[in-house]
Structures are given as structure tokens and as C-alpha cells.
Amino acid sequence: MSEKPKSKSKKKPAGKEQLVKKTEEKEVAAALTGIEGALDMSEGVDTLEVAADVAAASAAELAAGASDLTRAVDLEVVADRVAQLSDVVAAAGVTDMLEGAEILATSEDVNVLSSMVGLMGADDLEHGLELARMAGEMWVVGDVTDLLQMPVISAFLEERGYMLQEMAVDQILRAASTRSLAEVMAATGEQIAQYGMREAAEGAVRMAVSEGMAETSEDLSDAGLVLASKGAAEVANAIEGAQIAREIAGEGVSEIAQGAAEIGAAEVLAEEAEELKKKLKK
């Protein structure tokens, strides 16, 4: 039997197969590069959003820090003014207490004088009563001498008795007026003492108010220091946050730039693949 001739299989030329393979590789590389570029650009956008959030948080913290520092300065100013006012009130309180002490000392002097005047009144009364007794005695002796037929001596004693009687009345009246004066002086001394006590009490109140104001000033100063420390920390954090935001933004920009470059490279690969396809169709 005669052998049938073998059919020859149609084979593509080796150059064309390589061209097809190269075209496919270009297309795959273009697709992968484009996807990677899109992903990088998406990540870059997300990174920029994170950077924007960090920057916004830093700006808010910077504003809070500036506010706290301003409040700290205000509190320090108020604390200084309250401290100055406390010193003024304290000085006024010391003055009031000193004046009160002087007034009380004056009232004691008046009371001493009142007591002395009272003693003088008692002495005048005693002296007046003594003169009255002497006047009575002279009248009795005058009556006796009159009975003894001694008219001259009797008249003399009668006259002296009247004089002693008048002196006794004047002395007793003087004692009464002196006693009244002593009572008035005692009342005046009491009033002066009350005034002095009021002055001393006002001084004590002002001293207490001054101490309270001094404590308030210290509290305000401490609060100002706390706010100043907090504000400084917030400003430092804000500066650090702003630096981090810039770094993150830089990373986002780099990622977007890299993605754009990759997409550009993918477009170039796609164009090359198209060129190769055109060659295959010829």
C-alpha cells in the first residue's frame, strides 16, 4: 500500500509568536501598572485626608493653647491686682487697729480723770458738811454768849456762822456740780471706748478681708500657672502635630506622584501593545 502523504500543520512564524507574546506581556504589564498606579493614587488621597485631619487637630490644639495662655496672662494680671488691693486693705486695717488702740487709751485717760473729779466732788462735799457743822457750832456759841450778856461776841459769832453757812452751801453745790461733771466724763469715756472698739473691730475685719484676698490672689496665680503650663503643652503638641501633618502630606503627595507615574507608564505600555497589535495585523 502506498503511504498517504502527511499533512503539514500550519505553524506561525517564530517572529510572529514572539511578537504576540510580547504584546500580551505589554498589555498585562500595562494593566498591572495602571492598577498599581490607581491604588497608589488612592492611597495618596487617603494619606492627604489623614494629613488634613491631623492639621485640623493641630490647629484646634494651637487655638486652645493660645486661649489658655491668654487666660493665664489674664489670671496673673487679676492676681497681681487682687494682691495689691489686699495690701491696701491690710494697711487700712492696721491703721484702723492703731487708731482704735489710741482711742481706747484716750477713753481710759478720760475714765481716770472722771474718777479723779469724782474724788474731788466727794472731798468738796465732806468739806462743805464740815463747814456747816462749824457754822452750827458758832450759832450755838453765839446764842450762849448772848445769854451771858456778851452782845459783841454774840454778834461776831452769829456773823461768822452765817459766813460759814454760805461757804458750806457753796462747797456742797460745787461738790454736786463736780459729781455731775464726773458722770458726764465717765459717759464720754464710755462713748470714746465704744468708738475705739468699733475702729479696732473694723481694722480686724479689714485684716480678715485682706487675708482672704491674699488667698484668692494665690489661687488665681496658681490657676494661671496651671493654664500657662497647659497652654504651652498644647502649643508644643500643635507644632509637633503640624510637623507630622506636613510629613504625612508629603507622603501622600509622593504616593500620588508615584501613582501618576505608574499610570503614565501603564499608558505607555498600552500604547506599545497597540503598536505591536497593529504590526500583527499587517
Q: What is the pLDDT of residues 202-242, one digit of tens each?
A: 777 877 878 888 888 888 888 888 888 888 888 888 888 88
Residues 6+ apart with CB under 8 A from 64: 231, 234
- Highest-scoring range by mean pLDDT, 125-129, 172-176, 179-183, 255-259: 255-259
Express each pLDDT in 71-113 by its tens digit. Answer: 888 888 888 888 888 888 778 777 877 777 777 777 666 666 6
Amino acid at 89: V
Tell me the average pLDDT across 175-196: 69
pLDDT given for residue 116 in this prediction: 57
Which range among 30-34, 81-85, 140-144, 266-270 shows the weakest confidence by mean pLDDT? 140-144
CATH topology of domain 21-281: Helix Hairpins (1.10.287)
pLDDT digits (tens, 9 = 90+) for 55-77: 888 888 888 888 888 888 888 88
- Give CA–CA dist 38/222, Å, rounded: 56
Q: What are phi and psi of 10, to 5 degrees?
A: -75, 120
Greater confidence, 116 or 194? 194
Average pLDDT, the chain: 75
Q: How many degrees, rounded to 5, is the angle at CA 17 between CA 15 and CA 22?
A: 95
Domain ranges of the chain: 21-281
What are the Cα distances from residue 271, in Å, to 16, 211, 262, 280?
19, 88, 14, 14
- Amino acid at position 264, single letter: G
